[in-house]
Each structure stands twice: as structure tokens, then as C-alpha cells.
Structure 1
Amino acid sequence: MASETIFNSTLSEHHWTDQIRKDFDKEYALYVTNIPVSVFNVPKSISAIKPEAYIPQVIALGPYHHLRSELYQMERYKVAAVKSFLNKEQVLNFQHLVIDKLKTLEPIIRACYHKYMDIDGDTLAWIIGIDGLFLLDIMSNYDTIINSEGRKLSQDALLSRDVMVLENQIPTILLKELRKTLQIVSAEKDDDDGLTSMLEGFCRAHSPLGLAPLAQLRPGTNCLHLLDLMYLLIVNHEGAKSVPQEASVKLDVVEDDQELGIMKDELKNNLVEISTVLTNLGIKTPLQVITRMPWEKISNLLGIQTGNKDKNPLVEEIKIPSVSHLCKFGGIRFNPTNGGIRDARFVATEATLYLPTITLNANSEVVFRNLVAYEAATSKSALELGQYVDLMSGILDTAEDARLLVENKIIQGELSNDNIAQLFNGMNKSSGKARNRTIEAVNAYFNSRPRVQAYNFIKQRNSGTNSNLAATFPYTGSLPLPPLDSTLPRQLVAKELDINEAHDEVPPAYV
């Protein structure tokens, strides 16, 4: 079977040859090598779970999706918006003023895009000219758009979603050239501050997480496009560091000790109750029965639901208990931080997981997915945003988990609890083998709780395998022991354990 080609026709092959010849001959080829690739194709390994989240639904910006038939109907709308953005003289001289200038920048334009574009130079210049000016029009009039009763669109919701798609980005280096060409700024002036400030307003209106002030970015940081700016402001947002008061720490420790005592009492009562029932059934060694009976039997008896959650098998999540399990069985609390994702931390002395406040709406999933895809594409070493999304995806399994985080003011916005859970349940693990110390700390604390240790002990003894399970514990997704209902009928216990009350001996399979 022949491999796929990037060319649609022999004519396209000639275009490629001409383009390579031009690039080879031009003196500025060395300059182009300094232009960073910033607009990436999302690989299928990332987009396979939910491909529609990575492509524009209404309007194309840039060459990747420009000629898709379902988006082409918006071209007239873009042209009309650009003409209203320009003055009369600029409209009349558009070819000479904008298109001819962009044609001289063709190698730079192509260098910004990861994918080879089978488009001739003239077409590429028109695409960047119209789409770039359309984006500048959106950014410059954004305050007017969102404050106007008649235009607080559907237009805002549809455009803001597509504007944040990775494959729809327009590089800022090209936006700067357009602003200089139209004399919005002088040709000699560095436009970094003006353009970045314009893009910042849009980012602050649509980011699901808090953003750092522009001044907090390292000097010399270049914003490559709108999505890159949002990413930089999210990752670099850090709150003021605060050390808990000694008194509050001691108080939390006292409360934790009290909770430990309660759990130990519950655990003891569980074992005593099971042992009593078995003794009444004529079993002479009840503890041996408990530790050696099939796990499914004891799970059914205690009301524990075993097995994996019903999830999309393509979605791989990190191993960590859900919010409701962390609260109920681990005694862990959840508090909002005053900072960003770098401030997410678990404080064992307080039994508290601190998480940044997040505001969710209908577009938040698209924003998150494209930010994480961009982080992965640029090979950011720490994958900080990916690790945060992995953490949230791991602990948010159900509407009840979402409700707890909403009540604790960690999640805000317009989404229902069910929609919040669905959003994060569909996010595939993205941070690879990167070490997440927050998750490690939460799991270590959770595994140290008496109920969880007892659960793992019984399961380990029952299975007769993996003698290091309790010591090494990577969280397996199973539930820890709940309190036993002391009113369970003896007949039910006998039925679950396959024990015949008429006999004094334990069936051989359980001895």
C-alpha cells in the first residue's frame, strides 16, 4: 500500500519545488532559522479522544483550516469586518499595502507553522492578511463586544472558542508586521507591549485559571501567539507564600488524632462484628476466615463496590482516590489557594489539599485541551499544566466530587456538577512519566489511614499475592472499609460466605 503524500496533485509538487528553490536562494534563509515554530498540528495521539475540541467549529484563522468548506461561509463576514477595521485609503490600497508586504515575508510565515502548507505564496499572503486583521479587530474591539447588549453574542461564545484553538493561532510576529504596515504603530517602535496588552485582556476574560500580571513574566519573554500568552500567564501565576500559624497546625493535628481514634474504633467494631457473626455460625477461627475468604464475598458483605469505574477505555488517568473518597475515608479537606497551579500542594499536618480556584464555562474544556496540547508540542520540560489537569482528572470522577469542590469554592462558574465531572473524566493523562509530588503526597497520606491499611491488609492476605502491597501501595482505585451494618441477618452472612449453619466446620475452600 502506497504511503500518504502531502501533495494533492503533480501541480502541488511543482509548488513545493518552487518554494524550496526560493528558500534555498534567498539571503534571509539564515534569519528564518531563528523564527520559532509556534503553530502546531495536534497529533492524533492527543486528539483521538475528542477531535472536535482541537478544530475550529465556526471560523478559521490561518492556513490550516482556511479552505474547509464548512467554515468558508464565514469568509464574507471576515472580509466585512476587516474593511470596517481599515480606513478608506487602506481599503483602496490593500493589495499594495498589505498583501505585497506579506508576500515578502512568506518564508517567515511558513517558518511559524509546523505543518508544510501546500499553498502558493499569494494565497498564503491573503489568508494571513485577512485573518490577521480580523483577529486584531476582535482584540481591539473586545471590550465593546462584551459590553454591548445587542452583540453579547453568541458571537462572543463562538469566536472566543475558535480563537483559542491551537491550530487556529496567528503568530504575534505577523500581527506586529500588520500593525506597522497599517501605521497603528511606527515602523521603528517595538510593538511588544502594545500588542501583548491587547491580547492580555482577552486572556483574562477567557482563562479558566487565574493569570499572573504581565510584569511577573521574566524580562525578554516573547509571546508567540494568543494561546502562548495565556499559557505563560497561567503557569507563572503564583500567590504570596504563607506559613500556617503554629496554633492552627497543632489544632489540626489534635483533630486528626481524634479522627484516627474514631476510625480505629470503627475498624475494630467491623472486625469484632464479623467475627461475632461467624462465631455464632459455629466457626472456630473467624479471623482466618476473614483473611482467607474470596475478596468478592467480603466486598459484597460489606457493601463495597469493586472493579474499575465505567469509563472510556481510551482515557488513562493517574492513580489517586476521588474527592469524595479522600474526604470520607482519608479525612482530607480541600481549600482554595490564593495563587495558581504552582501553589497546588498537600499539607499533611493539616490533612488539606490546596488547589487554585478555577472558573468553568462551556468553552473551558476546549481551552484546557488546547493549552495542554500546546505544552506537549513545545516539549515544556515540567509539563506543569498537564500535571495539574491530570490531578483534577484523577480526583473528579462524579457529580458528588464536583459538588464538594464547588462548596469549598475551588470550582466556580456556570457548569453543572455533572458537566464538571464529564469535562475532567474525558481528559486523557498528559504528563507522561513526569513526577507529581502533590499526588505522591496525597496517596502516601491516604494509604496511612487505618481503614485503608486494614482494607489493603485483608485484600493482601486474601489474595495471597504481592506481599509488599500494603507497604508500597500505589492506589488501585478500590474502596476502603466502611462501617459494617450490625443489623445484617445471620442468614445473609451465611449466604454471602457460602456457609452452612448446620455444620461446625468452615468449608475447606476457606480454611
Structure 2
Amino acid sequence: MMAIDASFLLEFLQVYDLRGPKMLSEVSSGMPHFLEYSYRKSSCNAILRDIVMLENQIPLFTLRKVLEFRFLSLESTDDMLYSMLMGFCKELSPFKTMVGLPVARVSEHAHLLDFLYHMIVPKVEESVNIPEEVNDHTKATQENEEPSVGSTYMKQLLIEIWNLFSSLNISFLNKLLESAPVAVILKLPWSTLSNVLGFGSAKQPDAFSESQSVCSSIDQPPLVEEITIPSVTQLSKCGVRFVPSKGSISTINFDKKTCTFYLPTVSLDVNSDVVLRNLVAYEASNASGPMVFTRYTELMNGIIDTEEDAKILRERGIILNHLKNDEEVANIWNGMSRSIRLTKVPFLDKAIEDVNKYHDGLFKVKVEKFMKQHVFSSWKLLTLLASILLLLITSLQAFCSVYDCARLFHIHY
């Protein structure tokens, strides 16, 4: 089976030989459609997708062994195999800028997908920063021990109201406090009500559950918040420019001075979805260090949410769309699965951090976040305060119906 598959694969790869049609005359008559310019058919695309799948990989040494029968030396065999693999990778790779590999390293790769992966992904020094998750969890635990934001604001508001009434120095204040509605309000269990309404202090976990949750978080997949970054549309409205970089994934960075986000040019066609998914799967199953390509797909998944985001990147020249529309481009990136383990890539994480710092530092973004956190999310507190205010006004109206408020306030009609 290996011999038959290797022979078919070699015959197929000869079409992508970069050195020209030296051996094309020896191709069998059963595969003439591979030699035509119209070979981009559905059948050819199906073969390409099958070849790049992780479960269909053929050991590269079998291809090298078969080619030895056609050449006199191993050097000629490696040159031929290298030329075919390079042409195949340039045809199938979503990135037109790839890392050059020496001819002598052809025999060091396990299979064709491994060769394609090392042509695309640059080498990054291994750095595992998983203990940061423990620190984040500890910070979150310490924040839970502090009083909640809602209860603090409510206490400050009540204090200000009390100081306001105290500064008025009105004689009817004591009578108002002694009235039945106000007395009922003052005797309410405010700490219990704050917990029921959702802005009270959270229950503190014990030491065993805390340590167990920290240990389990290391083995679990990253959460959605693991790569929080604004979308392309949001960044464009904030003045960020997207510029295609000349290079591979390693050229991704964010220039703070010019507010420019550099991303490599990626070409997407009908085969790109299968290629990207199998590269991620191979990296997750084989890579011992940081998963660079997986982190890149998570970055693209984070900044592309809608069809409009894909359109902006296409107009900037970062995405070369060979699909039907921009919606399919957005579906490809949004359909990518998250990584199966935590990983940190220094240059990608720095770019994400710089973008978030620039975006979060804008005044309008701060105002928008403040409104969401303390206004829109505190509708229960605002409803309670409105009810208290309405009850106080009703109590004041009832008080004025019994006593002469005009005389107490020194109001002259």
C-alpha cells in the first residue's frame, strides 16, 4: 500500500516541479489532466485536500526511496524531491512568503505536512508561561474578598444624601425620620438585599476548592477571554491602520507611534480551510514548544467577527480572497477550534497586548466601558434607588399633608 501511494504521490507532485518539465514526459498517460493549465478542477482540489490531511500522511522516506530507482545518487534524489515539495508548498500554502529550507534537510522531515508546516511557521524559542494563570486566579480571589463595586457605590450615595439633608438643618428632619415609611427603610437588611440583587460580596471558596480549580485550569483549553482583542471594525473606528507586512507570521506587530497593525498577507481559496485545520492539528499533536500557528489562527479569529471585518482586511490587501464572498472568509476563521492546551507566543502576545493597551486607553472607549460596567450592568441597583426615591417622595407628600410644610420651609406664597 505504501508503494502504491508513494508512486501516485510522486506522479502527482511532478506537476509542481520548480525545475521545469524534465520528467513530465515520463508521466503515465492515465494522468494527462495534471499537466494542463486547467488542472484546477474539483477532482484535483479533492486530491490536494486528501494529501494534506494529517491522517493520510505518507512517510517522506518512502518517496525518497522510490526516487532512488530513477537517479544515480542521493543528491539528485534530494534535489528532485526538494523541488517538487517546494512547488507543492508554494501552490498550497496560504502564505506566499515562506521560510527557506536547505535541500539537505528534506530527509529530516517526517512527511509532507511536516515539511509544509516548517515552511510556513518560523521557529520560536520555547517559553511556557502557564503559571500566570495561577497568578490571575489569585488576583481574582483577592478581588472577591474586597467589597463589591455596587455595594460601595450605594454606601457612598447614601452618605452623600445624608450629608445633604444634614446641611439643610431643617427642623422637620427628625419628624421625617420618625415616620413609619422611613423607619422601615432604615431597618431593612441592606447587606442581604445587596447579595440577593447581585451586587453583594461573593462567597469565599475554601482552600481545597481553590487549589483544585487552579490545577484544573492548567489542563483545560483556553477560555474565550484568553485572547480578548477588538475586532477589525472597532479598531478601524479607533484610528488603527492595517498594513500587509512583507514576511511570514513572525512579522506581526503593532506600531504604537503610527497606530499601524502589520499582518502577513494570507491567500484563501477552496482548500484553505482544510490546510489551516490540518496544520493546527499537526502542531497540537507534535509541537513541544509554543504553538505559533495555532496562536495566529486565534488572533485572526479574534479580530475577524463579521463579514465587514473580512472586507476591511481584503481592501487593505491582507486577505486575498479567492472565495465567493467575504462571509466565507469570516466563517473560515470563526470556525477554527481553540487550542487544546495553553500556549504563549512572545511576539504575538506582545502585539495583542499593545493593541489592547492602545484601544483601552482611548477616552471614548473608557467612557463606553464605564457605562457598560457601572450603568447598564447596574440596572438592579438603579431600580432600587429609583424605588427608594419614589418612596421618599411619597413619604414627604404624606408628611406635608399632615404638617404645614410651607411654614417649616419658610415658603411665602
2:259 to 336, 348, 351: 351
Paired residues in the alignment total 275
Distance 1:427 1:175, change over 3 A: same
Q: Where do 1:132-211 residues align within 5 Å?
A: 132-142=6-16, 148-149=36-37, 151-180=39-68, 183-186=69-72, 189=75, 191-211=77-97
1:438 to 337, 351, 358: 351
- What is the alpha-carbon distance in structure 2 between the residues aligned to residue 353 and residue 218 of structure 1? 37
Task: Give the letter aligned to residue 228 of structure 1.
Answer: D
User: Residue 211 of structure 1 contacts residue 233 of structure 1 at CA under 8 Å; is this kept in 2?
Assistant: no
1:369 to 277, 298, 313: 277
Provide the identity percentage. Answer: 36
- What is the alpha-carbon distance in structure 2 between the residues aligned to residue 335 and residue 385 of structure 1? 20
Task: Give the letter aligned to residue 89 of structure 2.
Answer: C
- What is the alpha-carbon distance in structure 1 between the residues aligned to residue 49 and residue 75 of structure 2? 32
**Structure 1 position 231, deviation (Å):** 1.0
**Structure 1 position 209, deviation (Å):** 1.1
Task: Give the letter aligned to residue 442 of structure 1.
Answer: V
Distance 1:142 1:198, change over 3 A: closer
Task: Give the letter aligned to residue 172 of structure 1.
Answer: L
Cα RMSD for the two superposed structures: 3.6
**Structure 1 position 353, deviation (Å):** 0.8
User: Residue 209 of structure 1 contacts residue 234 of structure 1 at CA under 8 Å; is this kept in 2?
Assistant: yes
3-state DSSP of counterpart to 2:365: helix
Task: Give the letter aligned to residue 300 of structure 2.
Answer: M
2:360 corresponds to 1:447 = yes
Q: Where do 1:219-258 residues align within 5 Å?
A: 222-236=108-122
3-state DSSP of counterpart to 2:117: helix
Distance 1:160 1:231, change over 3 A: same
Task: Give the letter aligned to residue 162 of structure 1.
Answer: D
Distance 1:353 1:208, change over 3 A: same
User: Residue 336 of structure 1 contacts residue 354 of structure 1 at CA under 8 Å; is this kept in 2?
Assistant: yes
Between structure 1 and structure 2, the one with the greater Rg is 2
User: Residue 315 of structure 1 contacts residue 426 of structure 1 at CA under 8 Å; is this kept in 2?
Assistant: no
**Alignment match, 1:320:** 229
**Structure 1 position 233, deviation (Å):** 1.2
**Structure 1 position 459, deviation (Å):** 3.5
Moved more, 213-222 or 183-192: 213-222
- What is the alpha-carbon distance in structure 2 between the residues aligned to residue 385 and residue 221 of structure 1? 23
User: Residue 94 of structure 2 contacts residue 272 of structure 2 at CA under 8 Å; is this kept in 1?
Assistant: yes
**Structure 1 position 508, deviation (Å):** 7.0
**TM-score normalized with structure 2 length:** 0.59
Q: Where do 1:260-299 residues align within 5 Å?
A: none
**Structure 1 position 193, deviation (Å):** 3.1
Task: Give the letter aligned to residue 335 of structure 2.
Answer: G
Superposed CA offset, 1:326-365 (max 9, x none): 111x321111001110001111111111000000001101
- What is the alpha-carbon distance in structure 2 between the residues aligned to residue 147 and residue 461 of structure 1? 66
**Alignment match, 1:55:** none
Task: Give the letter aligned to residue 334 of structure 1.
Answer: F
**In proportion to residue count, which structure has more helix?**
2
User: Residue 393 of structure 1 contacts residue 425 of structure 1 at CA under 8 Å; is this kept in 2?
Assistant: yes
**Structure 1 position 432, deviation (Å):** 2.2
Distance 1:225 1:211, change over 3 A: farther
User: Residue 210 of structure 1 contacts residue 237 of structure 1 at CA under 8 Å; is this kept in 2?
Assistant: no
**Structure 1 position 204, deviation (Å):** 0.3
User: Residue 315 of structure 1 contacts residue 428 of structure 1 at CA under 8 Å; is this kept in 2?
Assistant: no
3-state DSSP of counterpart to 1:167: helix
**Alignment match, 2:240:** 332
**Structure 1 position 456, deviation (Å):** 2.3
- What is the alpha-carbon distance in structure 2 between the residues aligned to residue 347 and residue 216 of structure 1? 33
Distance 1:195 1:340, change over 3 A: same
3-state DSSP of counterpart to 1:353: strand
Distance 1:217 1:371, change over 3 A: farther
**Alignment match, 2:309:** 401
**Structure 1 position 135, deviation (Å):** 0.5
Task: Give the letter aligned to residue 297 of structure 2.
Answer: V
Distance 1:409 1:177, change over 3 A: same
**Structure 1 position 316, deviation (Å):** 4.4
Distance 1:352 1:199, change over 3 A: same
Task: Give the letter aligned to residue 427 of structure 1.
Answer: M
**Alignment match, 1:299:** none
Task: Give the letter aligned to residue 439 of structure 1.
Answer: I
- What is the alpha-carbon distance in structure 1 between the residues aligned to residue 232 and residue 41 of structure 2? 36
**Structure 1 position 165, deviation (Å):** 0.6
- Structure 1, unaligned runs of 5 or more: 1-126, 239-293, 295-313, 466-496
2:295 corresponds to 1:387 = yes
Distance 1:363 1:131, change over 3 A: same
3-state DSSP of counterpart to 2:98: coil
**Structure 1 position 433, deviation (Å):** 3.5
Moved more, 212-221 or 228-237: 212-221
**Alignment match, 2:145:** none
User: Residue 332 of structure 1 contacts residue 352 of structure 1 at CA under 8 Å; is this kept in 2?
Assistant: yes
Distance 1:222 1:335, change over 3 A: same
1:420 to 316, 326, 329: 329
2:303 corresponds to 1:429 = no
Distance 1:321 1:221, change over 3 A: farther
Moved more, 315-324 or 155-164: 315-324
Runs of 4+ with >6 A deviation: 216-221
User: Residue 316 of structure 1 contacts residue 428 of structure 1 at CA under 8 Å; is this kept in 2?
Assistant: no
- What is the alpha-carbon distance in structure 2 between the residues aligned to residue 508 and residue 428 of structure 1? 53
**TM-score normalized with structure 1 length:** 0.48
User: Residue 212 of structure 1 contacts residue 237 of structure 1 at CA under 8 Å; is this kept in 2?
Assistant: no
- What is the alpha-carbon distance in structure 2 between the residues aligned to residue 421 and residue 332 of structure 1? 20
